[in-house]
Amino acid sequence: MLAGMSRIERLLSRMTLAEKLGQLTMTAAHHATTGPVIAGDSTEAIRSGAIGNLLNLVGADSVHELQRVAVEESRLGIPLLIGFDVLHGHRIQFPIPLGETAVFDPGVWERTAREAAREATADGLALTFAPMLDVSRDPRWGRSAEGPGEDPFVAARLAQAKVRGFQGARLAAADAIAACAKHYCAYGPVTAGRDYASVDISERTLHEVHLPPFEAAVRAGVATIMPAFTDLAGVPMTAHRPLLRGHLRERLGFEGVLISDYNAIAELMRHGIAADLAEAAALALEAGIDIDMMSDAFRRGLPEALRRRRARMADIDAAVRRVLRLKERLGLFADPYRRGARPEPAAVLRRRRRMAREVAARAMVLLQNEADVLPLPPGISRIAVIGPLADAPAEMRGPWSAAAGNEGHVSVLQGLREAFPRARIEHAAGVPLREVEEAGIEAAAALCDGAEVIILCVGEAAGMSGEAASRTQLGLPGSQPRLARAVFERARARGIPVITVLFSGRPLIVPELVEHSAALIAAWFPGSEAGSAIADLLTGRRSPEGRTPLSWPRQAGQIPVFFGQRPSGRPAHPDDGFTSKYLDSPNEPQFPFGHGLTYGRFEHSDLVVNPARVRPTSRLRIRLTVRNTGRRTATDTVFLFARDPLASVARPLLELKGFTKVRLRPGERRRIDMTLAAAELRFHGASLEPVWEPGEVEILAGPCADRRRLQSTKVQLLPSASRK
Ligand code: GLC
């Protein structure tokens, strides 16, 4: 009997309950702390088979040591699954995910994940808790930094690229790492932008905005999914049977592993839907959770739940099968020491750094550039570099910086010194990053005297975004506003341009920087090669090309501000007071989704869409002329939108349906092509099922989600089946 059974069935038939629950348990080693610390030594538990998975363990030696305990000293020899948060690079950091999204290049998104997978597997890891796919339209929420911005189409494309990049062509390969689409789902719209708070959104928004990125990840073959901490309309995602077992497994056919977030199963008690750990464990198992991260609810609660007949052994066995299947697909049974068998050669690390520098430069968004003050002239001889983020290499990592230590990151100051070796570069932080302390402002401002240009480096500390880092005030922290004012006053008195480099994990509300900076760069947190990348932009070695993936609010009171809003019955009208607008601010964001300048100057014209009459099976071919009328070669990003003005339900003012990039020399003009499956013009009808509705739809293309700057034409959607 045993001979004909698969390895998994053979193991399952021999496992005790404790060993089964061990395979459904993930506890933290101590390389990093990513949640409430729950004490406990894992080695003995691994030896006894009471723990089958770990997180926050990094380093091939440490991983192999514990693998050896599991494989050679435990009764059944089942290898460990070891995961870590490799969000935007492992030891060498790429820009934070929100910044990398600004590149709007799925090839880049995939390549950086591939590089991170290579580096993380060289450290023995087989699972990363990434990509984070939470669409966010609320910069108060610190985790906007980890995500794909405000648009589901972008998030879905990022999901596919990241899953391909992390998992590679073969999950058992030594440099492949299992991806984890998180946090399923609708974590972004937490109440008041406050992390972990409840979520109340419409079924429509759930289907149109928050499910698509995860559906794309499942279609791309993502190995694991992590539910969000939050409750959705009162049902915590960790116990959300309709969306876990129902939508993911039954409707989408997801056969991978569901890993709870850190301690989230036990937190069902705090949510108030479980009286004790046994009930919490039963609810999570019933909903479809396979691995309990850090709450020990499965190990300590499921035996009691079984006794109460609140849990079924069949569900436990099904979960164990999925976990063992994942370990088998990862090749962990075949060779548990495959990952980390050899260190990476120095040449690979150098190449990765070069990529980190390129991607960081491409991620930064040039928000404004008055009188083409950038790029700086090569012969510049005196530069004042001011601000608490000018010489702060460790801050450049941003949140979720994985295994990147404090060392080895290039500061702005270092980058500028290497780029302008003959210039006199003077630096002063002026004020601390967060604290209110103004003693250094006067001396810092005095450095402006005699400078030809001032580089002002301000923004958030890396820890002011990411998890548990929501903010109600979205301006510069501490005394930085006072420093900025002093610098602007000094600079204005002397006619010196100020180039402001803004570091943040979210759009900040900085009207004073917008008003007084000659140039303003959203650098996000650029990663390990920050300073080199910024220097590449300031010198003109590279032209900026980043585009903001989040609408940039003018005031916090506008939040949520995003381009995909529906028109309402009273769309804003300047001559009618009874329309949807504010008394004290325009409706429009400071900078619209997709905004970003380059060192070129791009014009768009002659939009043509064929065929003009389409059925669901048609394929639209969109052609647009792009021309660079500027004096420098640069890369433009063109966005494709649709607008359905009349349908059975109110439709958004703009829906993103594509984006592409084109690099043009000065004076060069090119017809660019985009295609769009007409089926993408379906939408969720009143029943929330996809519908195709005949009628006229507008197709728009251009530089950002400001329809005044878009080319537009119309197509006619014909009835889906030709009527006799
Ligand atoms: C954290 C985060 C999650 C992360 C996990 C493991 O609380 O919510 O994104 O992957 O714990 O570190």
Instruction: Note the pLDDT of residue 36.
Output: 57
Q: At what angle do helices 106-122 and 152-167 cross, to 10 degrees?
A: 40
Look up residue 214 and give its amino acid.
F
Using CA atoms, how far apart are residues 152 and 134, in angstroms rounded to an integer?
9
- Output 198-206 pairs: Cβ under 8 A, ≥24 positions apart: 198/230, 198/231, 198/234, 199/228, 199/230, 199/231, 199/232, 199/233, 200/232, 200/233, 201/232, 201/233, 203/688, 204/649, 204/684, 204/688, 206/232
Q: What percent of the chain has pLDDT over 70?
A: 97
Average pLDDT, the chain: 96
Work out the burial of residue 449: count CB atoms within 10 Å of its CB; fewer than 13 is exposed, 13-18 middle, 19 or more buried.
middle
Nearest atom (ligand 1) to Cα of 183? 9
Interval 326-349: pLDDT, tens: 999 999 999 999 999 999 999 999
182 lines ligand 1 (CB under 6 A): yes
**Tens digit of each residue's pLDDT (9 = 90 or more) over 527-578:** 999 999 999 999 999 999 999 999 999 999 999 999 999 999 999 999 999 9
Residues 6+ apart with CB under 8 A from 123: 58, 59, 60, 63, 90, 91, 340, 403
Q: Which of 262, 265, 295 to mutate to test the pocket of ligand 1 (most atoms within 8 A of CB)?
A: 262
Is residue 227 lining ligand 1, measured as CB closer than 6 Å?
no
Q: What is the mean pLDDT of residues 381-406?
A: 96
Ligand 1 center from residue 495 Cα (angstroms): 48
Query: Is residue 32 very low, low, confident or very high in pLDDT (cuts 50, 70, 90)?
Result: low
Tell me the C-alpha distance between 533 and 676, whole Å: 34
Q: What's the predicted TM-score (pTM) here?
A: 0.97
Q: Which of 106, 92, 663 is nearest to 407 (CA)?
A: 92
| Block residue for tokens 């948060």 | 85
Mean pLDDT of 385-398: 98
Q: Is the CB of 471 under 6 A from ligand 1?
A: no
- CA of 56, closest atom in ligand 1: 12
Q: Determine if ligand 1 sits within 6 Å of the CB of residue 187.
A: no
* Nearest Cα residue to atom 11 of ligand 1: 262
Average the pLDDT over 593-606 and give the result: 98
Q: Which residues are catalytic?
A: 261
